[in-house]
Structure 1
Protein backbone atom coordinates (compact mmCIF):
# COMPACT_ATOMS: atom_id res chain seq x y z
CA UNK A 1 0.00 0.00 0.00
CA UNK A 2 1.29 3.43 -0.89
CA UNK A 3 2.16 5.75 1.99
CA UNK A 4 0.06 8.89 2.23
CA UNK A 5 2.33 11.93 2.39
CA UNK A 6 -0.56 13.95 3.87
CA UNK A 7 -1.00 11.48 6.74
CA UNK A 8 2.75 11.35 7.33
CA UNK A 9 3.06 15.14 7.38
CA UNK A 10 0.03 15.44 9.67
CA UNK A 11 1.42 12.94 12.21
CA UNK A 12 4.92 14.42 12.10
CA UNK A 13 3.46 17.85 12.91
CA UNK A 14 1.44 16.44 15.82
CA UNK A 15 4.48 14.52 17.07
CA UNK A 16 6.72 17.60 16.90
CA UNK A 17 4.20 19.56 19.00
CA UNK A 18 4.18 16.97 21.83
CA UNK A 19 6.85 17.67 24.45
CA UNK A 20 6.72 14.13 25.85
CA UNK A 21 7.25 12.64 22.40
CA UNK A 22 10.23 14.95 21.81
CA UNK A 23 11.71 13.96 25.20
CA UNK A 24 11.37 10.27 24.29
CA UNK A 25 12.87 10.80 20.86
CA UNK A 26 9.78 9.37 19.14
CA UNK A 27 9.71 9.72 15.38
CA UNK A 28 6.91 8.99 12.95
CA UNK A 29 8.32 6.47 10.48
CA UNK A 30 5.29 5.72 8.31
CA UNK A 31 1.63 6.63 8.02
CA UNK A 32 -1.29 5.93 5.78
CA UNK A 33 -5.01 6.10 6.38
CA UNK A 34 -5.75 3.77 9.28
CA UNK A 35 -2.18 2.94 10.27
CA UNK A 36 0.92 4.47 11.79
CA UNK A 37 4.44 3.35 12.62
CA UNK A 38 6.56 5.15 15.18
CA UNK A 39 10.05 4.47 16.53
CA UNK A 40 12.12 5.43 19.54
CA UNK A 41 15.83 4.84 20.16
CA UNK A 42 16.98 3.17 23.38
CA UNK A 43 17.94 5.69 26.04
CA UNK A 44 19.30 4.69 29.43
CA UNK A 45 16.95 7.13 31.20
CA UNK A 46 13.99 5.25 29.66
CA UNK A 47 15.04 2.02 31.34
CA UNK A 48 13.91 0.35 34.51
CA UNK A 49 16.13 -1.20 37.20
CA UNK A 50 17.05 -4.31 35.13
CA UNK A 51 17.96 -2.32 32.04
CA UNK A 52 14.81 -3.04 30.03
CA UNK A 53 12.61 -0.36 28.49
CA UNK A 54 10.27 0.71 31.28
CA UNK A 55 6.75 -0.74 30.96
CA UNK A 56 5.38 2.79 31.22
CA UNK A 57 7.18 3.65 28.00
CA UNK A 58 6.06 0.39 26.40
CA UNK A 59 2.51 1.55 27.10
CA UNK A 60 3.27 5.08 25.91
CA UNK A 61 4.58 3.82 22.57
CA UNK A 62 1.53 1.62 22.07
CA UNK A 63 -0.88 4.39 23.11
CA UNK A 64 0.86 6.94 20.86
CA UNK A 65 1.00 4.69 17.80
CA UNK A 66 -2.67 3.73 18.20
CA UNK A 67 -3.70 7.34 18.64
CA UNK A 68 -1.76 8.34 15.53
CA UNK A 69 -3.38 5.55 13.49
CA UNK A 70 -6.82 6.79 14.58
CA UNK A 71 -6.00 10.43 13.82
CA UNK A 72 -5.40 9.54 10.17
CA UNK A 73 -9.08 8.58 9.84
CA UNK A 74 -11.09 10.63 12.34
CA UNK A 75 -9.00 13.59 13.52
CA UNK A 76 -8.38 14.41 17.18
CA UNK A 77 -8.79 11.55 19.65
CA UNK A 78 -8.47 10.94 23.36
CA UNK A 79 -7.62 7.58 24.93
CA UNK A 80 -10.53 6.13 26.85
CA UNK A 81 -8.93 2.77 27.61
CA UNK A 82 -5.83 0.90 26.63
CA UNK A 83 -4.30 -2.41 27.52
CA UNK A 84 -0.79 -3.73 27.11
CA UNK A 85 0.54 -7.27 27.04
CA UNK A 86 4.26 -7.42 27.79
CA UNK A 87 5.50 -10.59 26.09
CA UNK A 88 9.23 -10.43 26.88
CA UNK A 89 11.72 -7.90 28.25
CA UNK A 90 11.94 -4.90 25.94
CA UNK A 91 15.66 -4.87 25.19
CA UNK A 92 17.04 -3.32 22.03
CA UNK A 93 18.71 -0.44 20.29
CA UNK A 94 15.44 0.86 18.87
CA UNK A 95 11.74 0.21 19.47
CA UNK A 96 9.17 0.24 16.68
CA UNK A 97 5.40 0.35 17.24
CA UNK A 98 3.07 -0.54 14.35
CA UNK A 99 -0.57 0.33 14.91
CA UNK A 100 -3.72 -0.02 12.86
CA UNK A 101 -7.35 0.92 13.19
CA UNK A 102 -9.47 -2.18 13.75
CA UNK A 103 -12.82 -0.40 13.62
CA UNK A 104 -13.41 3.32 13.17
CA UNK A 105 -16.61 4.88 14.37
CA UNK A 106 -18.29 8.24 14.66
CA UNK A 107 -17.62 8.50 18.42
CA UNK A 108 -15.01 5.85 19.17
CA UNK A 109 -12.18 4.05 17.41
CA UNK A 110 -10.75 0.60 18.19
CA UNK A 111 -7.07 0.07 17.40
CA UNK A 112 -4.34 -2.52 17.90
CA UNK A 113 -0.57 -2.36 18.00
CA UNK A 114 2.55 -4.51 18.05
CA UNK A 115 5.79 -3.25 19.60
CA UNK A 116 9.11 -4.64 18.38
CA UNK A 117 12.65 -4.33 19.73
CA UNK A 118 15.37 -4.02 17.11
CA UNK A 119 18.88 -5.13 17.96
CA UNK A 120 21.78 -6.29 15.80
CA UNK A 121 19.64 -6.38 12.67
CA UNK A 122 16.93 -8.57 14.21
CA UNK A 123 13.41 -7.71 15.29
CA UNK A 124 11.56 -9.29 18.23
CA UNK A 125 7.95 -8.79 19.25
CA UNK A 126 8.03 -7.53 22.85
CA UNK A 127 4.48 -6.30 23.47
CA UNK A 128 1.01 -5.98 22.00
CA UNK A 129 -1.80 -3.65 22.90
CA UNK A 130 -5.22 -2.33 22.09
CA UNK A 131 -6.82 1.04 22.63
CA UNK A 132 -10.29 2.45 22.65
CA UNK A 133 -10.16 6.10 21.61
CA UNK A 134 -12.86 8.74 21.79
CA UNK A 135 -13.25 11.12 18.88
CA UNK A 136 -12.80 14.69 20.14
CA UNK A 137 -15.12 17.19 18.50
CA UNK A 138 -13.42 20.32 17.18
CA UNK A 139 -13.60 23.09 19.74
CA UNK A 140 -14.10 20.72 22.69
CA UNK A 141 -12.46 22.05 25.84
CA UNK A 142 -10.89 19.77 28.45
Structure 2
Protein backbone atom coordinates (compact mmCIF):
# COMPACT_ATOMS: atom_id res chain seq x y z
CA UNK A 1 0.00 0.00 0.00
CA UNK A 2 1.38 3.41 -0.96
CA UNK A 3 1.73 6.27 1.51
CA UNK A 4 -1.25 8.16 0.08
CA UNK A 5 -3.38 5.00 0.25
CA UNK A 6 -2.38 4.50 3.89
CA UNK A 7 -3.23 8.08 4.79
CA UNK A 8 -6.52 7.92 2.90
CA UNK A 9 -7.37 4.81 4.92
CA UNK A 10 -6.64 6.75 8.12
CA UNK A 11 -8.82 9.60 6.85
CA UNK A 12 -11.67 7.22 6.08
CA UNK A 13 -11.34 5.53 9.49
CA UNK A 14 -12.00 8.85 11.25
CA UNK A 15 -15.73 9.29 11.87
CA UNK A 16 -15.38 13.09 12.03
CA UNK A 17 -13.45 13.24 8.77
CA UNK A 18 -16.07 11.07 7.06
CA UNK A 19 -18.96 13.15 8.42
CA UNK A 20 -17.32 16.41 7.33
CA UNK A 21 -16.39 14.95 3.96
CA UNK A 22 -12.64 15.53 4.17
CA UNK A 23 -10.95 14.49 0.94
CA UNK A 24 -7.20 13.87 1.06
CA UNK A 25 -5.92 15.16 -2.27
CA UNK A 26 -2.18 14.81 -1.69
CA UNK A 27 0.30 14.05 1.08
CA UNK A 28 4.02 13.47 0.66
CA UNK A 29 7.38 14.77 1.81
CA UNK A 30 5.96 16.91 4.62
CA UNK A 31 3.16 18.50 2.59
CA UNK A 32 -0.57 17.90 2.40
CA UNK A 33 -3.60 19.13 0.53
CA UNK A 34 -7.05 18.46 2.02
CA UNK A 35 -10.44 19.55 0.66
CA UNK A 36 -14.13 19.59 1.50
CA UNK A 37 -17.19 20.71 -0.37
CA UNK A 38 -19.44 23.24 1.35
CA UNK A 39 -22.57 21.64 2.76
CA UNK A 40 -25.19 23.02 5.16
CA UNK A 41 -24.02 20.90 8.09
CA UNK A 42 -20.62 22.66 8.05
CA UNK A 43 -21.90 26.22 7.94
CA UNK A 44 -22.65 28.55 10.84
CA UNK A 45 -25.73 30.73 11.43
CA UNK A 46 -24.43 33.28 8.91
CA UNK A 47 -24.10 30.67 6.15
CA UNK A 48 -20.28 30.57 6.09
CA UNK A 49 -17.88 27.79 7.01
CA UNK A 50 -17.87 27.29 10.78
CA UNK A 51 -14.61 28.32 12.46
CA UNK A 52 -14.48 24.91 14.16
CA UNK A 53 -14.42 23.24 10.76
CA UNK A 54 -11.69 25.63 9.66
CA UNK A 55 -9.65 24.57 12.69
CA UNK A 56 -10.31 20.90 12.05
CA UNK A 57 -9.15 21.23 8.45
CA UNK A 58 -5.95 23.01 9.48
CA UNK A 59 -5.27 20.46 12.23
CA UNK A 60 -5.95 17.50 9.95
CA UNK A 61 -3.94 18.81 7.00
CA UNK A 62 -0.95 19.52 9.26
CA UNK A 63 -1.32 16.06 10.80
CA UNK A 64 -1.24 14.35 7.43
CA UNK A 65 1.73 16.48 6.33
CA UNK A 66 3.63 15.35 9.44
CA UNK A 67 2.47 11.75 9.09
CA UNK A 68 3.87 11.69 5.56
CA UNK A 69 7.33 12.02 7.16
CA UNK A 70 7.18 10.15 10.49
CA UNK A 71 4.00 8.06 10.56
CA UNK A 72 1.42 8.38 13.34
CA UNK A 73 1.24 11.75 15.11
CA UNK A 74 -1.04 13.55 17.55
CA UNK A 75 -1.53 17.28 17.99
CA UNK A 76 -0.32 18.82 21.23
CA UNK A 77 -1.25 22.40 20.35
CA UNK A 78 -2.84 24.28 17.48
CA UNK A 79 -3.88 27.83 16.73
CA UNK A 80 -6.09 29.23 14.01
CA UNK A 81 -6.50 32.74 12.65
CA UNK A 82 -9.68 33.43 10.67
CA UNK A 83 -8.95 36.15 8.13
CA UNK A 84 -12.32 36.44 6.42
CA UNK A 85 -15.66 34.65 6.30
CA UNK A 86 -15.51 31.17 4.78
CA UNK A 87 -17.75 31.72 1.79
CA UNK A 88 -17.30 29.29 -1.06
CA UNK A 89 -18.34 26.08 -2.74
CA UNK A 90 -15.17 24.19 -1.84
CA UNK A 91 -12.42 24.66 0.72
CA UNK A 92 -8.79 23.55 0.41
CA UNK A 93 -6.20 23.38 3.19
CA UNK A 94 -2.54 23.35 2.17
CA UNK A 95 -0.15 22.33 4.93
CA UNK A 96 3.60 21.96 5.27
CA UNK A 97 5.95 20.79 8.01
CA UNK A 98 8.16 23.73 8.88
CA UNK A 99 10.43 22.03 11.45
CA UNK A 100 11.02 18.42 12.37
CA UNK A 101 12.60 17.41 15.66
CA UNK A 102 13.07 14.01 17.28
CA UNK A 103 9.72 14.01 19.08
CA UNK A 104 7.92 17.09 17.78
CA UNK A 105 7.03 18.49 14.40
CA UNK A 106 5.85 21.98 13.65
CA UNK A 107 3.51 22.55 10.72
CA UNK A 108 1.52 25.41 9.28
CA UNK A 109 -1.43 25.54 6.92
CA UNK A 110 -3.45 27.99 4.93
CA UNK A 111 -7.13 27.49 4.17
CA UNK A 112 -8.62 28.72 0.91
CA UNK A 113 -12.18 29.12 -0.35
CA UNK A 114 -13.03 28.40 -3.98
CA UNK A 115 -16.19 29.81 -5.53
CA UNK A 116 -17.37 29.80 -9.13
CA UNK A 117 -13.96 28.70 -10.40
CA UNK A 118 -12.34 31.96 -9.24
CA UNK A 119 -8.85 32.05 -7.78
CA UNK A 120 -8.53 30.60 -4.30
CA UNK A 121 -9.27 33.15 -1.56
CA UNK A 122 -7.25 32.88 1.65
CA UNK A 123 -9.71 32.67 4.57
CA UNK A 124 -7.67 31.24 7.46
CA UNK A 125 -4.26 30.08 8.57
CA UNK A 126 -2.83 28.20 11.49
CA UNK A 127 0.02 26.37 13.15
CA UNK A 128 0.11 22.94 14.74
CA UNK A 129 2.65 21.30 17.06
CA UNK A 130 2.55 17.53 16.64
CA UNK A 131 4.04 14.72 18.67
CA UNK A 132 5.24 11.46 17.22
CA UNK A 133 2.75 8.86 18.48
Q: Shorter-chain-normalised TM-score: which range?
A: over 0.9
TM-superposed CA distance for 1:24, in Å, is 0.4
CA distance in 2, matches of 1:42, 1:104: 33
Map of 1:124 onto structure 2 = 121
The Cα RMSD (Å) is: 1.0
User: 1:45-66: per-residue Cα shift (whole Å, max 9, x none)?
Assistant: 1111100100000000000000
Determine helix, strand or coil for the equivalent of 2:2.
Answer: helix
Structure 1 moving runs of 4+ over 2 Å: none
Determine helix, strand or coil for the equivalent of 1:92.
Answer: coil
Determine helix, strand or coil for the equivalent of 2:47.
Answer: coil
TM-score by length of 1: 0.90
CA distance in 2, matches of 1:31, 1:76: 14
TM-superposed CA distance for 1:7, in Å, is 2.7
CA distance in 1, matches of 2:68, 2:2: 9
Map of 2:42 onto structure 1 = 46
TM-score by length of 2: 0.96
1:25 aligns with 2:25: no
Q: How many aligned positions are there?
A: 132
Unaligned runs of 5+ in 2: none
TM-superposed CA distance for 1:106, in Å, is 1.3
1:92 aligns with 2:88: yes
Map of 1:115 onto structure 2 = 111
User: 1:40-98: per-residue Cα shift (whole Å, max 9, x none)?
Assistant: 00011111110010000000000000000000111111111000010000010010000
8 Å contact 1:7–1:33 — kept in the other structure? Answer: no
Map of 1:35 onto structure 2 = 31
Determine helix, strand or coil for the equivalent of 1:60.
Answer: helix
